[in-house]
Amino acid sequence: MNLEIIINSIPALLDGAMLTIEITVISVALGLVCSVPLALARVSRNPLLWGPAYGFIFFFRGTPLLVQIFLIYYGSGQFVDALKSAGLWVFFREAYFCALLTLTLNTAAYTAEILRGAIMAVPKGEIEAARACGMSQALLYRRIILPKAFRLALPAYGNEVVFLFQATSLVSIITLMDLTGVARVLVARSFAIYELYITAAAIYLVITYGILFVFKKIEFRMMGHLRQRPDGEAAVAAGTKPTGIGLR
Amino acid sequence: MLWEGLQVTLAVGVCAMVLALALGLLGAWGKLSRNRWAKGVAGTYTTIIRGVPELILILLVYYGTPTLIQNTLEGFGIDIIIDINPFLAGFITIGFIYGAFATEVFRGAFLALDRGQIEAARAIGMNRILVFRRVMLPQVWRFALPGLGNVWMVLIKATALISVIQLPELLRNSDIAARAVREPFTFYFAASLIYLSITIVSMLAQQVAERRANRGIVRA
């Protein structure tokens, strides 16, 4: 272990981490926006809607992310002429754009599947009650189903964001200088293999648990109405031992 | 060429899965044991593995381990050069990573066991190993199957990452072919369809296995 190499590499690695975070934030945001209509199409009864949505989700969840990245980044090279005439080649030429596009589509598919599960888990009674009040289908989704589904999906969505954050390390393979990319270049230059990779791993670890902490906080706030009040009632509940964890 | 790649991918996947299952059982035992050390080691293992990207771990094991061994041996005055076989490095790293996920699956399954049954088995004089084999394992297997199916499907996709260390698996071979023929889209798309069919076959196999494991169980 060479401490000097580690300390000297930290500024460069943190620069890389900034790109990693940037890519994560942009693709998470765009992916979330795309995932809502995708999930709605997936739960629809119209085969023209759920068919394509099902195919899209199945493809992106069933193939490795690295293959998807290669497919879009290198694969687009096969259609240079068509893309040039459409004026899109300036985008597909850039590794940055291809990485964002792939990660966005990928997380949109995973998020849509999480949302679908959450939409299906909305209690029947609530939907029936809303219908009985005379809500239209659109109002029902906007006021009852989607808010409830978002809350149900939150824990799984937190995991998805963490997975996407870690998956961004793959963009280093198509030459982007994210945290992993910087670490690889520094290793090639200095041969300090485990010093640099372990430092990079530690940065990933810290950010990962940072993300999980933030989601815990959000969950705590959004579940406020279900929390036990810190009065006598809660104390009684806390006094009764939960069963089934005897092994611990 | 893609066919050869597929065989390597499946071989790496199966080897890694076996390792992951072994580590998962061991890890779950550690997490649930009263031994503070076993608990600490298992906890650290799952925390670190789940917080670090697979790619970093693969690079660390493939490039880092030989250097580590060489440097250590150099300290003893032995000068050798070690080259790790990419197949070995690949399946050990992937198995090691997904062992952490399998640990969580097995932990959940052990916690889902009915305590009364274990006490009853102990009461009729079965020893610990017999209880584990006859009462716990068959049920843990049933509870853990859905989770383990997921681990397998994520694991087989993760094997694509080993192409980075030049192992001629499915993605690496498609890459070589794509460069030779200059039709990248065609070959990567073919590769993705092969991965997709592995997923489909795995899903069907999982359904069959679950039905088999759940025979004789009344559905609520």
pLDDT at residue A109 is higher than 90: yes
Q: How many CB atoms lie within 10 A of CB B57?
A: 21
Q: Residue B48: its chain A contacts at CB < 8 A?
A: 201, 205
> Using the beta-carbon criterion (under 8 Å), do A194 and B115 form an inter-chain contact?
no
Mutate to test the interface with A, among B32, B39, B44, B55 (most CBs of A within 10 A): B55
For the stretch B123-139, pLDDT in tens is: 998 888 888 888 888 88
pLDDT at residue A116 is higher than 90: yes
Q: How many CB atoms lie within 10 A of CB B38?
A: 16
Of the candidate ranges A203-207, B7-11, B25-29, B178-182, the one whose mean pLDDT is the lowest:
B178-182
Nearest CB among A58, A66, A187 relative to B160 is that of A66
pLDDT at residue A226 is higher than 50: yes
* Structure-token pair, residue A242: 């939960």
pLDDT at residue A231 is higher than 70: no
Residues of A with CB under 8 A from a CB of B: 58-59, 62-68, 70-71, 74-79, 166-170, 172-173, 180, 183-184, 187, 191, 193-194, 197-198, 200-201, 204-205, 208-209, 244-248
Q: How many CB atoms lie within 10 A of CB A95?
A: 16
**Which candidate, A104, A103, A96, places its Cα nearest to that of A174?**
A96
Q: Is residue B122 part of a domain?
A: yes
> Using the beta-carbon criterion (under 8 Å), do A193 and B191 form an inter-chain contact?
no
- The answer for residues whose C-beta is within 8 angstroms of residue B154's C-beta and 6 or more apart is B98, B101
Q: Is the dihedral of CA A7, A9, A11, A14 positive or negative?
A: negative
> What is the overall mean pLDDT for chain A?
86
Q: What angle do CA A226, B104, B130 make, to 5 degrees?
A: 120
Nearest CB among A67, A194, A245 relative to B64 is that of A194
CATH class in words for A3-122+134-226: mainly alpha
Any A CB within 8 A of B45 CB: no
Question: Is there a contact between B99 and B22 (Cβ–Cβ < 8 Å)?
Answer: yes
Question: Is there a contact between A13 and A202 (Cβ–Cβ < 8 Å)?
Answer: no
User: Which pTM was predicted?
Assistant: 0.85
Burial of A50 (0-12, 13-18, 19+ CB in 10 A): middle
Q: What is the distance between the alpha carbons of residues B80 and B64, in angstroms, rounded to a whole number?
A: 15
**pLDDT value of position A241:** 38
Q: Which residue of A has its CA nearest to B200?
A: A62
Q: Which residue of A has its CA nearest to B65?
A: A194
Please state the domain count of chain B: 1
Q: Is residue B218 part of a domain?
A: no
Of the candidate ranges A66-75, A139-148, B65-74, the one whose mean pLDDT is the lowest:
B65-74
Mutate to test the interface with A, among B188, B199, B201 (most CBs of A within 10 A): B188
Cα within 13 Å of Cα(A233), Cβ side: 4
Q: What is the distance between the alpha carbons of residues B54 and A173, in angstroms, rounded to a whole number?
A: 13
Q: What is the distance between the alpha carbons of residues A60 and A107, in angstroms, rounded to a whole number?
A: 9
CATH number of the domain that residue B173 is part of: 1.10.3720.10
Q: Is residue B220 part of a domain?
A: no
What's phi and psi for A88, nearest 5 deg? Answer: -100, -10
* B215–chain A nearest CA distance, Å: 24
Q: Residue A248: its chain B contacts at CB < 8 A?
A: 32, 111
Cα within 13 Å of Cα(B80), Cβ side: 10
Q: What is the distance between the alpha carbons of residues B101 and B95, in angstroms, rounded to a whole number?
A: 10
pLDDT at residue A234 is higher than 70: no
* Structure-token pair, residue A59: 């493809």
- The answer for residues whose C-beta is within 8 angstroms of residue A169's C-beta and 6 or more apart is A20, A178, A179, A180, A204, B53, B54, B55, B56
Full domain range(s) for residue B128: 2-213
State how far the alpha carbon of B58 is from the alpha carbons of A14, A19, B96, B201, in Å.
21, 21, 10, 27
pLDDT at residue A244 is higher than 60: no
pLDDT at residue A146 is higher than 60: yes
pLDDT at residue B111 is higher than 50: yes
Any A CB within 8 A of B61 CB: no
Q: Is residue B178 part of a domain?
A: yes
User: What is the ipTM, given to two decimal places?
Assistant: 0.84
pLDDT at residue A103 is higher than 90: yes
Crossing angle of helices B36-51 and B86-111, in 10° steps, is 120
* A197–chain B nearest CA distance, Å: 6
